[in-house]
Structure 1
Amino acid sequence: MGVMSANDSMPPITPLDASAAVSIRGLFKQFENKIAVNGLALDIPVGSFYGLVGPNGAGKTTTLNMVTGLLVPDGGAAMILGHDVWRDVNTVKRMIGVMPQPSQIFDRLTGLQLLVYAGMLRGMKRAEAVKRANDLLKAFDLEASANVIVADYSAGMTKKICLASAMIHSPRVLVLDEPFESVDPVSSANLRDILIEYAATGGTVIVSSHVMSLVEKMCTHVAVINRGQVCAAGTVEQVAAGEDLEERFLQLVGGRHQAAQLDWLDGGAQ
């Protein structure tokens, strides 16, 4: 997929791509007077590690919620692995893993109980859910906290158990909204290795993040989203266009300005 620019003349709307992991056309969502997603179109290839980046309020989370069947769009269409999200929502939800936010989990369960519960909700036998839960606790360095209730976990540990709960049923597409927020550097590196290995087996990872260095290091593709539309999309190299990805991002979304002149902020000089 080549680089698309919002400044180019609008091409005719192409059909949804049934061969893509995720295909989006004309996605639209409005909350009262605010347009959150404005005709967004994007194709995410199977087996890619795809980063969605954009400023706060750009529409990333709203887009992911619509694509994964959690939020009904006002317009447009989305397809996951050839299945229309809203015509075949139950099939789609079986094929994807969505990382919950810490506020969305049952934090009075222990880490082990939460993972087993997540697996059995997906139709897994208890024995298989327990086996996979223990594998995930080991992989995420949470073995020592397996029998501690999640409410007593640190912010980083909670992020990891949320990610593990999205992976226990071995989904074909994994959708992660800010997975590295509050995670320490060692855990972040371990999570990154697990996700890269998962993508190497043919799984597709879609991650929204504000951490441009992580996106540049681990993603194969990236889409820059601003004001509910895709500014640019393609491989990381294509979008960066020979520059540092963060600098290219700032060029695309704008909003950078000179440091405010605060006369009273003098660092102690009198």
Structure 2
Amino acid sequence: MSTPEQHDAVSGRAPRSEQVAPAPGLPADPVGHAPDAEPALQITELAKRFGSKIAVNGITLSIPTGSFYGLVGPNGAGKTTTLSMATGLLRPDHGTVAVHGVDVWAHPVEAKRQIGVLGDGIRLFDRLTGRQLVTYTGMLSGLDRPVVAERTDELLALLDLTADAGQLVTDYSAGMTKKIALACALIHAPRLLVLDEPFESVDPVSAANIRDILAGYVRGGGTVIVSSHSMDLVQRMCDHVAVIAAGRVLAAGTTDEVRQGQTLEDRFVELVGGRHSEEGPAWLRNS
């Protein structure tokens, strides 16, 4: 199993002559994404403090290109803060982040072109309709209007939002809002998708469809990082995982390496601790 110390190494860039086909059903990138030996995301000694609270305490992670990477941890572990710094939304106090070799803070525009983000709790322009929001996001990404229109139609259909495309986002359900935010994250065909709790409030059918879309995206050469509290979902979906607690990496590597023959949930509880063996107070058991 990889250790945090082993995650400091960044391998050299591989030749980029061979094209990779876009994921089935997703908007094609006219440039194409070529295989790359260097990490999709390299986080090195990242740290962030809010007043007296240390939210992230020297995290180092290397996310392999083409991986489906799960980030798990208890509430307050530092997952969202780490992802916010990794995607250029929050400036770190210390450390560096590189997306396919591009420093996020030294070259933010170039780095952010390669990233699609679905943040937990990030506000959308919800006075737009669903179609307008995805179109607007695509135009902001620098895509031509005909390309934006075609990709918007494809994404709305993929996410089962075509019938609601003319409705204001403010009137969407929580699950529909999650899906339209995912469409916005995908519209510019990024090389790296960073999704913070993407399945929260999403119904089982929509969640299954989203998983299929993400699996196709990874098969086409993309990289997905997903933060989730659902251990079963991460175990079934992700080929790599990192366990974070108190702003530190407790374990990282392939999912099988981290599990060590246990379920991911049991291994997580073993690493993080905090499970109570008591059955609760007697009055509750006898009620």
Q: Please report the TM-score for the alignment, with normalisation by the length of structure 2.
A: 0.87
Alignment of 1:126-137 (within 5 A): 126-137=145-156
Q: Distance in 2 between the 1:91 and 1:83 partners?
A: 7
Aligned partner of 1:51 in structure 2 is 70
Match of residue 87 from structure 1:
106
Question: Which position in structure 1 is the counterpart of 2:250?
Answer: 231
Which of residues 158, 173, 186 in structure 1 aligns to 2:177? 158
Distance 2:181 2:111 in 1: 20
Residue deviations 1:92-151 (CA, integer Å, cap 9, x gap): 001100114455101111110110001001011122111111100100011110101111
Alignment of 1:1-80 (within 5 A): 2-4=1-3, 11=5, 14-17=8-11, 19-80=38-99
Using the TM superposition, give the Cα deviation of residue 68 of structure 1 relative to its aligned residue in structure 2, in angstroms.
0.6
Write the distance in 1 (CA, Å) between the matches of 2:133 and 2:121: 12
Deviation larger for 13-22 or 58-67: 13-22
2:29 paired residue number: none
Deviation at 1:12, TM superposition (A): 8.4
- Structure 2 residues not aligned, in runs of 5+: 13-37
Per the alignment, do residues 102 and 137 of structure 1 end up closer, same or farther by CA in structure 2, a change over 3 Å counting? farther
Q: Contact (CA 8 Å) 1:118, 1:165: kept in 2 or not? A: yes
> What is the aligned residue count?
262
Check 1:262–1:225 CA distance in 2 against 1; reply closer, same or farther (3 A cut): same
Who is 1:177 aligned against? Answer: 196
Of all paired residues, the percent bearing the same amino acid is 56
CA-CA distance at 1:267 after TM superposition:
5.6
Match of residue 211, structure 1, among 215, 222, 230: 230
Is the CA contact 1:102–1:162 (under 8 Å) kept in the aligned structure 2? no
Task: Report the alpha carbon displacement of residue 190 of structure 1 after superposing the two structures with TM.
Answer: 0.2
- Conserved 8 A contact 2:7-2:62: no
Matches of residues 114-153 of structure 1 in structure 2 within 5 Å?
114-153=133-172
State whether residues 8 and 61 of structure 2, in contact with CA within 8 Å, keep that contact through their aligned partners in structure 1.
no
Q: Partners of 2:43 and 2:163 in 1: how far apart?
A: 42
TM-score, with normalisation over the residues of structure 1? 0.93
Structure 1 residue 202, shift from structure 2 partner: 0.6
Q: For 1:113 and 1:78, locate their aligned partners in 2 and report how far apart those are by CA, in whole Å.
A: 32
The one-letter code matched in structure 2 to 1:201 is G
Report the secondary structure of 2:48's partner residue: strand
Is the partner of 1:210 in helix, strand or coil? Answer: coil
Against the structure 1 CA distance between its residues 12 and 22, is the aligned structure 2 distance closer, same or farther, given a 3 Å change threshold?
closer
User: What residue is the counterpart of 1:261 in the other structure?
Assistant: 280
Runs of at least 4 residues off by over 3 Å? 11-18, 100-103
Instruction: Decide whether the 8 Å contact of 2:8 with 2:62 is kept in 1.
Output: no
1:8 corresponds in structure 2 to: none
Change (3 A) 1:13 1:212: closer
Given that 2:228 and 2:234 are in contact with CA atoms closer than 8 Å, whether structure 1 keeps it comes out as yes
Give the residue type in structure 2 aligned to 1:50.
Y
Q: What amino acid is aligned across from residue 3 of structure 1 in structure 2? A: S
**Whole-angstrom CA distance in 2 between matches of 1:267 and 1:187:** 40
2:2 partner letter: V
Alignment RMSD (CA, Å)? 1.6
Residues 160-208 of structure 1 show CA distances to partners (whole Å, capped at 9, x for unaligned) of 0011110000000000000000001000000000000000111000000
How far did 1:16 drift?
A: 4.4
Amino acid at match of 2:153: N
How big is the shift at 1:78? 1.3
What secondary structure, in the 3-state scheme, does the structure 1 residue paired with 2:284 have?
Answer: coil
Gaps of 5+ in 1: 6-10
